Chain A
Amino acid sequence: MPKLYSGAEIVFKCLEDQNVEHIFGYPGGAVLPIYDELKNHPSIKHILVRHEQGAGHAAEGYARSTGKPGVVLVTSGPGATNVVTALTDAYMDSVPLVCISGQVPSHLIGTDAFQECDTTGITRPCTKHNWLVKDIKDLPRIMHEAFEVATTGRPGPVLVDIPKDIQFAKAKYFNPKKEKKLKQKSLNRFNQKDIDQLVDLMKKASKPIFYTGGGVINSGPKASELLRELVSLTGFPITSTLQGLGAYPGDDDQFMGMLGMHGTYEANNAMHDCDLLINIGARFDDRITGKIDEFSPKSKKIHIDIDPSSINKIVKVDLSIVGDVSDVINATIKTLKKKNLNLEKSNKQKISKWWQQIQKWRTKQSLNFINSDKIIKPQHAVQRLYELTKNKDTYITTEVGQHQMWAAQHYKFNKPNRWMTSGGLGTMGYGLPAAVGVQVAHPKKLVIDIAGEASILMTMQEISTAVQYNLPIKIFILNNQYMGMVRQWQELLHEKNYSESYSEALPDFVKLAEAYGCVGIRAKSPGELDEKIEEMINIDKPVIFDCHVDQDENCYPMIPSGKPHNQMLLGPKDQNENKITGKGKTLV
């Protein structure tokens, strides 16, 4: 007779078979049998967080920086509800997570038992799929299916809810086998005809643009390599969404910077004026498109995405190619080479005017800001951080707000999986726990959370996790005492009524760092910034860096609400210049 295993044992056997090395979690009554089993599985290391939301974001950071699914283990009731934000975040940004939650014993489900909640009901809209295990015999199948669903097609979070009696019950275990039905859902659905059509459109275009997104990162490092080859082969300009940063080198000449609400002037204008828009693994998010009616009005649009439901969801496209980004780009490159279409050379004339126009836009230098020698400008702080860390293989996470946009604008990424930020859901408090997860996956690498003082306080407790596991993460706080992005919107759109966006009381972050058992550093003037950043990098411990920055700085350029891409609001430098010319004219 085959050996019978308890539900808790089966959970770990599945994790082992799925090559899971780390799980992020927090124990509680309804998962104790699983925690009891932990000691028997030395290949799996558990990271004890301080709040279940932290476990979720840490697993997200882990997943994004490795490409492997992140695993979360929480208890029933509050354990499960606390992880909902992280699951929703992962769902929006297509991050593979497998969340295992304990549940009250089967016979108590539905009785409002202690720490009971309808976990599968609550998490249904924020997971790709979830399961309530009602029979121990289903557990091995469900566990393997959970990993399969989380990682195939467009990745995302899944949840397995296991009642406590099921964790004790015994059953046979079996290894993962390929589920045919699921596989079908992830198959590429394009053929050579689609690729030929794509190549044909590329050949005809005189103002082409690549618009790439997180799908390139999710498709694996190979996709980024292929993307670089494709871009150099075609000679086309490329712009990226927030999530796609790093798929293409940020300092390359063909790269126009990020697009969208706080994207560069050249990228947004090129999107507006192009005649061929090639979307690779992006989803026409509303922060990207601005006003839909006037979005890229003159272009033929091609959309390459693994998720068929992304096609025509927001923007109607002329050609859709449903498939894995790597496979599509690979097929495109092959076709380009076979047809011997050296677009860069043959099309040089055709797109040279386009490049001239782009260069003209570039001269606006839309990311510029007026620097100061008295007060640290937040953009300057990010630029210095970049300059002083660019030679290391640095991993950057962020919270959400102005600092996030400045990080995206001024920190240049050359490799995929180095940039972890909450884009879709926009979760303040994401960055610190995400940095914990990244550092767990890459213990020897430099991991920095570019943060704001308001965001960081939302998940501050996780610094304690970092201290416990000697994870030398660096929390680089651009401290302006405001919820900066809220303040900026209030300044520009709500007549400077700064309603509740100022934090009158803030902790002393240096003392706070010390209280947590890590190191605190404070920088108040531009003169000391470099030296302090160097100091931070050289400390082999978690560091909280309290960087006092200009309170009134706004994030520019920006597309004001309801405006198309070519009506950007530029920074104060440009606004000043325009004012001067205005005055000058009246004098004449």
Chain B
Amino acid sequence: MVKSKSAYSIPTKLGKIDTHIIVVWVDNEASVLSRVVGLFSGRGYNIESLAVAEIDVKKKLSRITIVTTGTPQVIEQIILQLKKLVPVHKVGNFKREDKKVIFKEMALLKIVTNSSKIKKALNACKKYNPAILDQTNKSVVIQITALKKEIDNVIKILKPLGLVSASRTGAVAMTRGAEIFN
């Protein structure tokens, strides 16, 4: 090994990287999103997707859902660091594989083509709760809700069928059953 000339240590082996969905309840105030996102960028954490909206108008609470990847140590740090932010109320953490949690993403897909291909396209979306939001004789806007991988897949199928534009949200999460996250 080459002798290190650095005053810093050499990086050690990384642990296994997992995908986690982190849910953050925050005060809906100016710059709160930049605090959360800045924490991720400043400490070198990943953001795969992000969904944020106000969930309680009266209490001015927003819920941020972040899909991130990292080693168990990094995930633990993300959660602990998030909890230190002043406008953060609570933080939830779920593994993508977690069976107790529902994850969903939504996509709006615009297809410009002929009517037979539109039919095929609608057929391809059948499994993912498709809703036709707009239709003309040569175009259609379909809304689907599904998992990230599924939407990726649908987009792949729709490309040759005339998909011209796709707009996607980040994942949102909800626990199954009567249980709520505290």
The chain A residues found within 8 Å of chain B, CB to CB, are 120-121, 124-125, 128-129, 132, 134, 149, 181-182, 185, 286, 289-293, 307-309, 311-313, 316, 489, 493-494, 561-562
Assess whether B30 is in contact with A134, with CB atoms less than 8 Å apart.
yes
Interface residues of B in 65-86 (CB under 8 A from A): 73, 76-77, 80-81, 83-86
Q: How far is the CA of A562 from the CA of B3 in the complex (A)?
A: 9
6 A-B residue pairings within 8 Å (CB atoms):
A120-B31, A134-B30, A286-B8, A289-B9, A292-B12, A313-B77
Assess whether A309 is in contact with B80, with CB atoms less than 8 Å apart.
yes
Residue of A nearest to B35 (CB): A124
Assess whether B84 is in contact with A309, with CB atoms less than 8 Å apart.
yes
B31: A residues at CB distance < 8 A: 120-121, 124, 132
Assess whether B38 is in contact with A124, with CB atoms less than 8 Å apart.
yes
Query: Is B6 interfacial (CB 8 A cutoff)?
Result: yes
What 4 pairs between A and B have smallest CB-CB spacing? A309-B80, A129-B86, A562-B4, A493-B5
The interface centre, meaning the residue of B8, B34, B80, B86 with most chain A CB atoms within 10 A of its CB, is B86
Contacts A128-B86, A309-B80, A309-B84 given; does A286 touch B9 at CB 8 Å: yes
B42: A residues at CB distance < 8 A: 125
Q: What's the least CB distance linking A515 to chain B, in Å?
A: 36
Q: How far is the CA of A293 from the CA of B30 in the complex (A)?
A: 42
Residue of A nearest to B78 (CB): A309
Q: What's the least CB distance linking B95 to chain A, in Å?
A: 18
Assess whether A308 is in contact with B83, with CB atoms less than 8 Å apart.
yes
A291: B residues at CB distance < 8 A: 9-10, 12
The chain B residues found within 8 Å of chain A, CB to CB, are 4-10, 12, 30-31, 34-35, 38, 42, 73, 76-77, 80-81, 83-86, 89
Q: What's the least CB distance linking B162 to chain A, in Å?
A: 42
Residue of B nearest to A561 (CB): B4
Assess whether A561 is in contact with B84, with CB atoms less than 8 Å apart.
no
A308: B residues at CB distance < 8 A: 80, 83-84
Residue of A nearest to B41 (CB): A125
Assess whether A292 is in contact with B86, with CB atoms less than 8 Å apart.
no
The interface centre, meaning the residue of A124, A149, A308, A309 with most chain B CB atoms within 10 A of its CB, is A309
Assess whether B7 is in contact with A489, with CB atoms less than 8 Å apart.
yes
B38: A residues at CB distance < 8 A: 124-125
Q: What's the least CB distance linking A424 to chain B, in Å?
A: 14
Q: What's the least CB distance linking B87 to chain A, in Å?
A: 8
Known: A129-B85, A312-B76. 17 other contacts (CB 8 A): A120-B31, A125-B38, A134-B30, A286-B8, A290-B9, A291-B10, A293-B12, A307-B84, A308-B83, A308-B84, A309-B80, A313-B73, A316-B73, A494-B5, A561-B6, A562-B9, A562-B10
Residue B73 contacts which of A290, A312, A494 (CB distance < 8 angstroms)? A312
Q: What's the least CB distance linking A309 to chain B, in Å?
A: 4
Residue A561 contacts which of B7, B77, B80, B85 (CB distance < 8 angstroms)? B7
Residue of B nearest to A485 (CB): B7
Q: How far is the CA of A291 from the CA of B77 in the complex (A)?
A: 20
The interface centre, meaning the residue of B4, B10, B84 with most chain A CB atoms within 10 A of its CB, is B84
Q: What's the least CB distance linking B91 to chain A, in Å?
A: 12
Residue of B nearest to A289 (CB): B9
B85: A residues at CB distance < 8 A: 129
Assess whether A132 is in contact with B9, with CB atoms less than 8 Å apart.
no
Q: What's the least CB distance linking A486 to chain B, in Å?
A: 10
A290: B residues at CB distance < 8 A: 9
Q: How far is the CA of A124 from the CA of B76 in the complex (A)?
A: 22
Assess whether B30 is in contact with A132, with CB atoms less than 8 Å apart.
yes
B34: A residues at CB distance < 8 A: 121, 124
Q: What's the least CB distance linking B109 to chain A, in Å?
A: 36
Q: How far is the CA of A32 from the CA of B64 in the complex (A)?
A: 40
Residue of A nearest to B42 (CB): A125
Q: What's the least CB distance linking A5 to chain B, in Å?
A: 24
A494: B residues at CB distance < 8 A: 5
Q: What's the least CB distance linking A127 to chain B, in Å?
A: 10
A562: B residues at CB distance < 8 A: 4, 6, 9-10
B5: A residues at CB distance < 8 A: 493-494, 561
Q: What's the least CB distance linking B88 to chain A, in Å?
A: 9
Residue of A nearest to B88 (CB): A185
B35: A residues at CB distance < 8 A: 124
A316: B residues at CB distance < 8 A: 73
A132: B residues at CB distance < 8 A: 30-31
B86: A residues at CB distance < 8 A: 128-129, 149, 182
A120: B residues at CB distance < 8 A: 31
Q: How far is the CA of A297 from the CA of B142 in the complex (A)?
A: 58
Q: What's the least CB distance linking B86 to chain A, in Å?
A: 4
Q: How far is the CA of A153 from the CA of B2 in the complex (A)?
A: 43
Residue of B nearest to A308 (CB): B80
Contacts A120-B31, A292-B12 given; does A309 touch B7 at CB 8 Å: no
Q: What's the least CB distance linking A239 to chain B, in Å?
A: 20
Q: What's the least CB distance linking B74 to chain A, in Å?
A: 10
Q: How far is the CA of A316 from the CA of B72 in the complex (A)?
A: 11
Residue of B nearest to A145 (CB): B86
B7: A residues at CB distance < 8 A: 489, 561
Q: How far is the CA of A67 from the CA of B12 in the complex (A)?
A: 38
Q: How far is the CA of A538 from the CA of B80 in the complex (A)?
A: 51
A313: B residues at CB distance < 8 A: 73, 77
B8: A residues at CB distance < 8 A: 286, 561
Q: What's the least CB distance linking A103 to chain B, in Å?
A: 14
B9: A residues at CB distance < 8 A: 286, 289-292, 561-562
A293: B residues at CB distance < 8 A: 12
Residue of B nearest to A182 (CB): B86
Q: How far is the CA of A289 from the CA of B6 in the complex (A)?
A: 15
Q: What's the least CB distance linking A558 to chain B, in Å?
A: 10
Q: What's the least CB distance linking A269 to chain B, in Å?
A: 19
Q: How far is the CA of A344 from the CA of B4 in the complex (A)?
A: 43
A311: B residues at CB distance < 8 A: 80
